[in-house]
Amino acid sequence: MNPIIRWFHKLGSPPYFDRFAARWAPWGYGLGLLVMAWGLYGALFQVPADYQQGDSFRILYIHVPSAWMSMAVFGLMAFYAAIALVWRIKLCEILAMACAPIGAAFTLITLLTGSIWGKPMWGTWWDWDPRLTTELILLFLYLGVIGLYNAIDDRRSAARAAGLLAIVGVALLPVIRWSVVWWNSLHQGQTISIFGESKMDPSMFAPLIWMVIGTKLWFVGALLSRARADNLRRESGKAWVAELAGGRRA
Amino acid sequence: MNYLNYVIAAYAVFVIVLGWDFVSTKLQIRRELRGARLRAAREAARPGRDAELTR
């Protein structure tokens, strides 16, 4: 058998996954923290103030990467949920459900930091603008997935029901993405483009890239840790968990 | 730095929410392992099914 395919099969084993997650989650957290610290240093102390927004634009360095994460994590959750529904892979159910609280955290950061930026720039904490409203609906979808998963006793049925909600919810992602194009919006249009030309000055760009990489690395650590916790919860009656619990602590 | 209070508030939100995510996960793992340890201890203390009944 192909060694990569064999490794994937092995990863599906709960004790093997526990060892894998326990080993690599601290690396995700550690590297994420390091890269974000470097990005935040640049964002706060190296880049010049914006000629119109002053220093309030520095909020962008946490708002934009969080907003991207809020959508990317939802897409990933739906992807895992689809695999879990089609092939009944337990690990994918666990990973899909582990995505929900992390994605909800990034969505909450997006909404709160956007609101804090909006007060001095727009003169209001909140507006029922298409971008803001759809992002709020995304938070409700995340909360719905978390709530549904915890409302059903049987873990596998719960994951399937919540996964279905995640798959349906994916339809919201393009609406969030293009809301500033489709409707007249108080929220500014697209400033940063990966493939095209960005409207942001190049001197302000580097810390944003570091923050985008840092939040992704942090997410890897958080995903592995949360999946490990759920894996232990599902396997709590098994001998390997008892052995692990008796041998060492988290 | 102008708008300093807003910048501090936004960065505080970022640190607090990600910090909560980190701590809550660590506590959850610890809780699951503690639960498993207690369950194993209870099962070890329970007499076996084939144990002789005594008056």
* C-alpha span between A35 and A215 (Å, rounded): 8
SS3 A127: coil
Contact A54 B2 (CB under 8 A): yes
Does residue A250 have a pLDDT over 50? no
* Interface predicted TM-score of the whole assembly (ipTM), two decimals: 0.91
> What's the mean pLDDT in B19-46?
91
> What's the mean pLDDT in A205-228?
96
* C-alpha span between A47 and A32 (Å, rounded): 21
CA distances from A73 to A15, A70, A100, B15 (A): 25, 6, 8, 19
> Does any CB of chain A come closer than 8 Å to the CB of residue B10?
yes
Tell me the shortest Cα–Cα distance from A247 to chain B, in angstroms. 9
Query: Got the DSSP string for chain B?
Result: -TTHHHHHHHHHHHHHHHHHHHHHHHHHHHHHHHHHHHHHHHHHHSPPTTPPP--
Ranges of beta strands (E only) in A124-238 are none
Which of residues A202 and A102 earns the better pLDDT score?
Answer: A102
Amino acid at A103: G
> Tokens at residue A85, please?
């529904």
State residue A194's pLDDT score: 66
Contact A241 B14 (CB under 8 A): no
Which of residues B13 and B44 earns the better pLDDT score?
Answer: B13
